Amino acid sequence: MATMQAAKKQLRKLIKDRLCDVSLDSSKNQTSKALETLFTMPQYQNAQRISVYLSMPSGEISTAGIVHDALKNGKEVFVPYTYKISHLADGPGSVMDMVKLDDLRDYEELRPDKWGIPTPTESSIANRINSFGSVGKSVGHDASSAPGQGGLDLIVMPGMAFDMNMNRLGHGRGFYDFFLERLQRHTDTKKGRMPLLGSNALKWSEQLLEESSVPTDSTDWKLDALITGDGQLLTASHSRIA
């Protein structure tokens, strides 16, 4: 396990160094190509409830256009909110929920956190609907959501690195991996797994690696599909996205 974490750490460092060299022009161009592809996908067009990460100032495909398009088309948009928890002795010290944006104004009023990620204020959380179908922080409140309520139709995920086998490497806090496990436990499993879509920020060669290059263990979730910065859609053999 120590070796696995060391291998992931090393890969994160490698990618971070590569991302420093990407120009603003290239990053804008790749964002618009990736979004063009996303908007043509039936899985996006038909999704009513979507989760979208809100991009950092650099190193990620910008998702501002997705939020605008989704809200304009009447979709429910859920965004990450991370917070510390104390009462799970054998779990993580912080968890991530996906909380609902009210409207475009709400989105535009979000303020950047220490990583530059637009984030809902702590004081707004108690009144926000979360993706588990309850209101406020989900940890400690899970039991109140009726079975079948909540859930997401599409999850647009960030990542440091991806490979051709649809493996994904995050920033190493396990936020998405823990969140997906909780979401799966709380939503109607008969519907099957919600499609997980990664957007491969920045050029093919910078973040997309050869098959099985991302070290993974049993807690890592594979993506169903990946959109690259040149607008290509890669799908997995296990995927519900054809």
Ligand X SMILES: Nc1ncnc2c1ncn2[C@@H]1O[C@H](COP(=O)(O)OP(=O)(O)OP(=O)(O)O)[C@@H](O)[C@H]1O
Ligand Y SMILES: Nc1nc2c(c(=O)[nH]1)N(C=O)[C@@H](CNc1ccc(C(=O)N[C@@H](CCC(=O)O)C(=O)O)cc1)CN2
Q: Residues forming the annotated binding site for ATP?
A: 8-12, 168-176
Hey, which residues does 119 pair with through a beta bridge? Answer: 111
Give yes or no for residue 7 binding ligand X (CB under 6 A): no
User: What gap in Å lies between CA 115 and CA 80, rounded to an integer?
Assistant: 13
Decide whether 71 or 96 has the Cβ nearer to ligand Y: 96
Cβ distance 224 to 194 under 8 Å? Answer: no
Going by C-beta distance under 8 Å and a sequence separation of 6 or more, which residues neighbour residue 167? 212, 213, 214, 216, 220, 222, 223
94 binds ligand X (CB under 6 A): no
The interface partner of residue 8, options being ligand Y, ligand X, none and the CB cut-off 5 to 8 Å by kind, is: ligand X
| Residue number, 115 or 204, with CB nearest to ligand Y | 115
Report if residue 120 touches ligand Y, rule: CB under 6 A.
Answer: no
Residue closer to ligand X (CB basis): 10 or 219? 219
CA dist., res. 204 & res. 57, Å (int)? 20
**Where in 196-225 is the site for ligand X (CB under 6 A)?**
217, 219-220
Task: Let me know the angle formed at the C-alpha of 164 by 161 and 167, rounded to the nearest 5 degrees.
Answer: 50
- Contact status, residue 121 vs residue 111, Cβ threshold 8 Å: yes
- State the number of binding residues for ligand X (CB under 6 A): 15
Subset of 157-196 contacting ligand X (CB under 6 A): 169-178, 181
Q: Is 13 in the site for ligand X (CB under 6 A)?
A: no
Indicate which single residue of 70, 117, 155, 156 sits in contact with ligand Y (rule: CB under 6 A). 117
Report the alpha-carbon distance of residue 220 to residue 11 in Å, rounded. Answer: 15
Shortest Cβ distance from residue 169 to ligand X (Å)?
A: 5
Of residues 135 and 236, the one with the C-beta less far from ligand X: 236
158: contact with ligand Y by CB under 6 A: yes
Give binding residues for substrate as ranges.
Answer: 54, 60
String marking each residue 179-218 x if it binds ligand Y according to CB under 6 A: ----------------------------------------
With residue 222 as reference, give the H or E element that holds it.
none
Q: Which single residue is written with the structure tokens 């944006």? A: 101
Taking the least distance from each CB to ligand Y, the nearer of 122 and 188 is 122
**Using CB under 6 A, which residues numbered 101 to 140 contact ligand X?**
none
| Residue 4 CB partners (closer than 8 Å, separation 6+) | 215, 217
Closest CA to 199 of 239, 153, 234: 234
| Cα–Cα distance measured from residue 30 to residue 25, given in angstroms and rounded to the nearest whole number | 9
Strand, helix or coil for residue 210: coil
- Please measure the distance between the N-terminal and C-terminal CA atoms of the chain and give it in whole angstroms: 34
Residue 117: what residue type? I
Site residues (CB under 6 A) for ligand Y? 12, 16, 53-56, 60, 80, 82, 96, 115, 117, 158, 160, 170-173, 175-176
Site residues (CB under 6 A) for ligand X? 8, 169-178, 181, 217, 219-220
